């Protein structure tokens, strides 16, 4: 049937098949859909038919073909608050916004939305006035644009027909659980990854890296990880080390380990065209490179100059790539940073020898041309770059994850990626790219991280302080003081900018930084528990304030304050008249001076909750639970509840029962509050938790008590 879509002549495509594939999860397949034209790289597995749609199902997409390019539209009725879309700028509330889904290296990006960034999440969450919610997933990697108008959600691609999944449930939280059923959850991270990370482009020598590590320890500023940007390499050749400045990486990493640090090293996809270079030669021998339409190798300019690029659509390429990590990680490397994997390409070379390249225009600029060929294999068909561009980083991190796991099978892989696709949270954490050292980017980091969480990626955060340009002391102090409560917490700085370590801005700001980081480290037991819950359910670690009361329309736009889990409210110092949830919320102090330092975020505990906290530690090799502190805030009925999850902190023994999940409950009886707990899991926690402190927050007062898990836990309110 011919019709007009936004004034453009379109061919409407009928729905060929629809069914329920989960509780409240519907699959819609347009007539003529061919998985060899639009393979799924978003779903964790192929959904299985359960039953036909119920008679009362109301949400049906409409499919169209415009000049042989597939579109889908979901018409909206009523007042709907729209969220999601993954890595986007602009407001948290996405009504009236548009997103260009074409992964792009976009440094110092604008804050007002619309411009394409590094990742693609073709997903929208809708919340109705009554708090019920739905989500729509467009299962396509084709270059696309997504619009969230007040009366419809529209997804316009430059490729073939695709499937649509719609989740309709009683709350946004339940919808996000449904998204996780389709796309998977984050893998349980190692505990060290939740500490503070320090990075720079670049710490250029072994001596400088040691100096940074020693300064953290000398100043008693908590930190777990130091990062190596591209200058550790030999001429930007991936999987190599500079023979002068990083001549003995094993020795350096062992030194860092002795100081309680882990190390993360960058690996890009571009392989220097350099016959005689081991990685280039082995890739050429295995025939893994992306090809031009004429069948010859594609060459593009990145940091090393002319580069070839692995074709990750091919199973043998992913196997080859994964195998490269064994020798690399044997140098004591703990984690990997995949960057430039949109893929970013600044010039196109005719062959590897050419010094003069071709700069393309439009959306082809900065990456491979649309017609660049990917050969596919296994369950992936051959296809153009127009199809596979948005999946390039996703396929790369899957191969990297498998390689890291194979090299160190007794450890949980840690991988950070710049480019990704919806569903890629199964393999890698992310950060919000090359941001700018300005107040607008500081404030933007809250809705950006929130939106990633609402799009299935709970492990994210910005470069604290701003990556590009110089950072002022005031900006750093403001940013680090709430940035420590984001899921991923890293300070990072670009070459040519000022130093951005916590001590780089004078004694006063150093003290502010120490307070902020000590607050995070005290909350590591709570954070680790939240990540356990995220790995189990798909719920975000960082949540919008409206999650506290999904029917309160005044909270729907709030993007300054945010929730950590559901029980801890974070109000950054920069927040002006934030809309906060009603009910009981008691102010929480974790560190001496944290309520008087002008930069620190205000923390508030929800009535009815119990927050598990630890002591101040310098890194996660130390025992957080000596003692364990339970911070209790009673609800109007005098009750509270909370959980603590713990395991070995790394490895996979928790999968066979070596974990402890403690569920604490508090109940007020007269002037006394009794605390009880139940434990699941086989882990013996006596050596970790020998003493329990209780802090009961009530009407601005704190009542203290102490005990152990083997005795009665009570606190008197007098």
So which residues are the catalytic ones? 339, 342, 434
**What are the b/e assignments for 668-692, b being 16+ CB within 10 Å?**
beeeebebebeeebebebeeebeeb
* Helix and strand totals (H; E) in the chain: 12, 43
Sheet holding 299-302, edge to edge: 271-272, 305-308, 299-302, 348-349
387 token code pair = 């199809």
Choose among 424, 477, 482: nearest CA to 449: 482
- How big, in percent rounded to 5, are the helix, strand and coil portions of the chain? 20, 30, 50
Task: Please state, in angstroms and rounded to a whole number, the distance separating the CA atoms of residues 508 and 505.
Answer: 8
For residue 317, what are its two tokens? 């390429």
* Backbone dihedral angles phi then psi of residue 126, each to the nearest 5 degrees: -115, 135
CB 532 within 8 Å of CB 187: no
- Residues 6+ away with beta carbon under 8 Å from 329: 404, 407, 408
What angle (nearest 5°) sits at the alpha carbon of residue 385, between those of residues 380 and 388? 40
| DSSP element (H, E) containing 327 | helix 325-329
CA distance 562 to 575: 11
> Per residue, what are the HEC states of 653-687?
HHHHCCEEEEEEEEEEECCEEEEEEEEECCCCCCC
**Integer Cα distance of 577 and 580 in angstroms:** 9
The backbone torsions φ and ψ at residue 504, rounded to the nearest 5 degrees and listed phi first, read -80, -5
> How far apart, in whole angstroms, are the C-alpha atoms of residue 630 and residue 343?
47
Nearest-angstrom CA–CA distance, 654 and 128: 39
CA distance 338 to 230: 11
Q: Which of 524, 342, 483, 329 is nearest to 424 (CA)?
A: 342
Instruction: Return the SS3 of 154.
Output: strand
Helix (H/G/I), strand (E/B), else coil: 388? helix
610-to-310, 392, 565, 691, 701 alpha-carbon distances in Å: 49, 43, 12, 17, 16
* Residue where the block lists tokens 């196997």: 319
- DSSP sequence for 30-45: ETT--TTTS--SSSSS
Between CA 663 and CA 522 the distance in angstroms is 19
Helices (H), 140-248: 172-183, 206-218
Alpha-carbon distance 86 to 631, whole Å? 33
Whether 143 and 101 have beta carbons less than 8 Å apart is answered as yes
Q: What is the number of other CB atoms lying within 10 angstroms of the CB of residue 234?
A: 17
* Cβ–Cβ under 8 Å, residues 72 and 162: yes
Assigned token pair, 698: 């009530």
């Amino acid at each position: 049937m011919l019709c007009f879509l936004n004034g453009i002549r379109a061919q409407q495509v009928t729905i060929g098949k629809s069914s329920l594939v989960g509780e409240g999860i519907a699959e819609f397949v347009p007539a003529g859909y061919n998985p060899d034209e639009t393979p799924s790289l978003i779903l964790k597995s192929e959904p299985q038919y359960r039953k036909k749609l119920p008679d009362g199902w109301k949400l049906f997409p409409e499919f169209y073909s415009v000049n042989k390019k597939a579109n889908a539209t979901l018409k909206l009725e009523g007042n709907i608050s729209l969220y999601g879309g993954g890595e986007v700028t602009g407001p948290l509330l996405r009504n009236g916004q548009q997103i260009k889904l074409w992964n792009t290296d976009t440094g110092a990006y604008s804050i007002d939305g619309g411009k394409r960034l590094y990742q693609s999440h073709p997903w929208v969450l809708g919340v109705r006035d009554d708090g019920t919610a739905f989500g729509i997933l467009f299962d396509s990697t084709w270059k696309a644009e997504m619009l969230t108008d007040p009366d419809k959600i529209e997804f316009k691609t430059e490729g073939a027909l695709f499937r649509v999944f719609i989740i309709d449930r009683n709350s946004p939280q339940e919808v996000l659980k449904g998204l996780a059923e389709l796309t998977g959850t984050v893998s349980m991270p190692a505990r060290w990854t939740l500490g503070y990370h320090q990075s720079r482009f670049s710490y250029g020598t072994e001596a400088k890296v040691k100096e940074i590590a020693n300064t953290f320890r000398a100043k008693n500023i908590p930190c777990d990880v130091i990062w190596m940007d591209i200058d550790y390499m030999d001429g930007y050749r991936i999987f190599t080390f500079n023979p002068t400045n990083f001549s003995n990486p094993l020795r350096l990493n062992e030194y860092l380990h002795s100081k309680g640090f882990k190390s993360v090293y960058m690996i890009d996809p571009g392989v220097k065209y350099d016959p005689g270079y081991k990685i280039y030669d082995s890739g050429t021998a295995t025939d893994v490179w992306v090809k031009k339409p004429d069948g010859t190798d594609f060459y593009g300019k990145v940091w090393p100059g002319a580069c070839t690029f692995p074709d990750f659509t091919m199973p043998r390429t992913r196997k080859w790539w994964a195998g490269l990590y064994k020798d690399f990680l044997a140098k004591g490397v703990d984690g990997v940073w995949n960057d430039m994997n949109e893929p970013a390409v600044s010039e196109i070379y005719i062959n590897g020898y050419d010094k003069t390249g071709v700069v393309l225009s439009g959306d082809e600029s900065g990456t491979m041309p649309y017609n660049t060929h990917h050969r596919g294999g296994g369950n992936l068909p051959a296809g153009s770059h127009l199809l596979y561009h948005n999946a390039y980083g996703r396929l790369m991190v899957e191969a990297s994850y498998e390689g890291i796991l194979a090299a160190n099978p007794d450890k949980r892989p840690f991988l950070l990626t710049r480019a990704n696709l919806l569903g890629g949270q199964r393999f890698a954490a992310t950060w919000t790219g090359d941001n700018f050292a300005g107040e607008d980017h500081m404030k933007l980091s809250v809705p950006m991280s929130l939106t990633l969480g609402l799009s299935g990626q709970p492990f994210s955060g910005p470069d604290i302080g701003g990556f590009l340009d110089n950072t002022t002391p005031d900006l750093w102090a403001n940013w680090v003081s709430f940035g420590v409560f984001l899921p991923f917490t890293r300070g990072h700085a670009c070459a040519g900018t000022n130093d951005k370590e916590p001590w780089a801005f004078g004694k006063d700001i150093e003290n502010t930084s120490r307070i902020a980081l000590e607050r995070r480290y005290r909350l590591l037991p709570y954070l680790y528990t939240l990540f356990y819950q995220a790995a189990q359910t798909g719920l975000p670690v960082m949540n919008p304030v409206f999650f506290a009361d999904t029917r309160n329309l005044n909270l729907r736009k709030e993007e300054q304050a945010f929730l950590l889990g559901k029980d801890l409210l974070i109000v950054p110092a920069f927040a002006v008249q934030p809309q906060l949830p009603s009910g009981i919320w008691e102010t929480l102090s974790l560190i001496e001076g944290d309520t008087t330092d002008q930069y620190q975020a205000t923390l508030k505990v929800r009535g009815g909750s119990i927050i598990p906290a630890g002591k101040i530690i310098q890194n996660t090799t130390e025992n957080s639970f000596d003692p364990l502190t339970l911070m209790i805030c009673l609800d109007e009925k005098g009750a509270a509840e909370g959980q603590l999850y713990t395991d070995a902190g790394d490895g996979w023994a928790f999968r066979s029962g070596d974990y402890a999940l403690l569920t604490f409950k508090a109940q007020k009886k007269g002037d006394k509050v009794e605390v009880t707990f139940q434990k699941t899991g086989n882990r013996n926690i006596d050596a970790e938790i020998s003493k329990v402190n209780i802090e009961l927050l009530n009407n601005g007062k704190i009542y203290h008590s102490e005990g152990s898990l083997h005795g009665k836990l009570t606190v008197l309110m007098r």
